[in-house]
Amino acid sequence: MEDEDTLTNRQGHPITNNQNIRTVGNRGPATLENYDFIEKISHFDRERIPERVVHARGAGAHGYFEAYGAVGDEKVSKYTRAKLFQEKGKQTPVFVRFSSVIHGGHSPETLRDPRGFAVKFYTEDGNWDLVGNNLKIFFIRDAIKFPDMIHAFKPDPVTNIQDSERFFDFCASSPESFHMVTFVYSPWGIPANYRMMQGSGVNTYKWVNQEGKAVLVKYHWEPKQGIRNLTQMEAEEIQAKNFNHATQDLYDAIEKGNFPEWELLVQTMSDDDHPELDFDPLDDTKLWREDMFPWKAVGKMVLNRNPEDYFMEVEQVAFGTGVLVDGLDFSDDKMLQGRTFSYSDTQRHRVGANYLQLPINAPKKRVATNQSGGQMAYRLDRGPFQNPHINYEPSILDGLQEAEQHGTEYTPMIKGRLVRESIERDNNTKQAGETYRNFEQWEKTELISNLVNDLAKCDKRIQEKIIALAEEADEDYGRHLREGLKKAPKGGSSQAPLGNKDGDQAPKEAIDKSHEADPY
């Protein structure tokens, strides 16, 4: 007998015995024609896909974005023709993935690390991915440095242990990173959970209106639940009890109907290089000052449904900074340009050539392409009236046709020599000083304590470079760091998670505190 709850294999065959493999007698040996067992174990051996190189640890949820139909007090159509923003109350389905960056898929959610904040909007014009972090800036401003940065922050290739000396070696040699170091080593480097952290697009994008005119834009997610961060000691205490606390917090809140919300705000700036500023607006190591470029609300996001299956949705969801809809565009931000290639490229490697056919990644609208084949293809993206013999364009034999352009195409003027140069207005430490001065006293104290703890175990040359950057940023910042390092105990290993207190003592403590046992 078979009903809707009957166990089957992938061929649809009912499984009558899921407890025993087929053997000669009840003691074996097993036979090769154990089809159900071989199918089951072979799939089990392939249940994992390649882990994300970064952002491997994550949690996610479904929800919706509701537009305000305005940018602050102005009509949104003045700035962008993107349809999802135009009507007040218009709702667009979303899927959000939160993550930590450096460590693996089952690493503790209390580690000192930026957090990913990626939103997939299933708009009527196709998908838009807003792929960002909780912090509003980044360590570097040029994509060519990204692999080196991640290599330095990842565990040592010999010991497989994260090493703060490697981290600071890269940062001391890349002074543009000092603003981000200031945030990461403060309590902002350990958000209390995913619901109570900000989000940011980090990079500079563009909005394009109906006339083809563009403005630069920055995106900011502000949590309605408030913002909460942890000290190093608080994080270590939580980690000792539950290293999945942030995933559990998000899941439990949604299950209880306590749906988390964020407001989406934007900053806009005219599309030019702004020589009046002491930084380049395309530099993602910099903040745009709110008093000069006010935050304007454009909508809110509500997360109201947990995934049905973690692997199918949270693990296989694939984001890309190049996934934009009409009315949204790229800027010349060098990090954005590099990410736009890298993100989609890694998804094809990780999930497969047809990753966009998976339900979590597919747009919630019609799709018609001339693409086919590739591993795990399971449908043809063909139009209902398309000639099945015509998988190319242009054609006069009932193939697919180009869409009509609505709104004037944005055509920026590009002029200049091809060079390999840094931007002129690097100004690496000014904003780090402003950030330091804006911290509350307890945040400053925690920042200095965490920096001293890790820098004390680093090469003296690295210490001096970081101190020099701190002194350049703010006299008080540099003085406290230098004084703290003078008083810090010498020696100890730098091989421990960033900011970790006495982590190098853990192997010995494990022996000292353990209990002997006899063999059995």
- Catalytic residue set: 55, 133
Q: Is 520 exposed, middle or buried (0-12, 13-18, 19+ CB in 10 A)?
A: exposed
Closest by CA position to 355, among listed 315, 328, 392: 315
d(CA 130, CA 146) in angstroms, rounded, equals: 19
Closest by CA position to 30, among listed 17, 40, 20: 20
d(CA 181, CA 343) in angstroms, rounded, equals: 24
The helix/strand count (H/E) of the chain reads as 13, 12
Contact yes or no for 204/331 (Cβ under 8 A): yes
Give Cα separations from 31 to 22, 23, 34, 35, 39 (angstroms): 6, 6, 6, 10, 14
Contact yes or no for 129/136 (Cβ under 8 A): no
In this structure, are strands 261-270 and 74-75 parallel, antiparallel, or unpaired?
unpaired
Amino acid, res. 122 = Y
d(CA 470, CA 435) in angstroms, rounded, equals: 12
Quickly list DSSP for 104-130.
Answer: -TT--TTSSS-EEEEEEEEETTEEEEE
Q: Which residues contact 332 (CB under 8 A, 6 or more apart)?
A: 282
Which DSSP letter does residue 426 get? -
Main-chain dihedrals φ then ψ at residue 219, nearest 5 degrees = -110, 140
Contact yes or no for 288/281 (Cβ under 8 A): yes
d(CA 329, CA 207) in angstroms, rounded, equals: 6
Closest by CA position to 71, among listed 302, 304, 293: 293
State which H helix or E strand residue 160 sits in. Answer: none
Contact yes or no for 297/191 (Cβ under 8 A): no
State which H helix or E strand residue 174 sits in. Answer: none
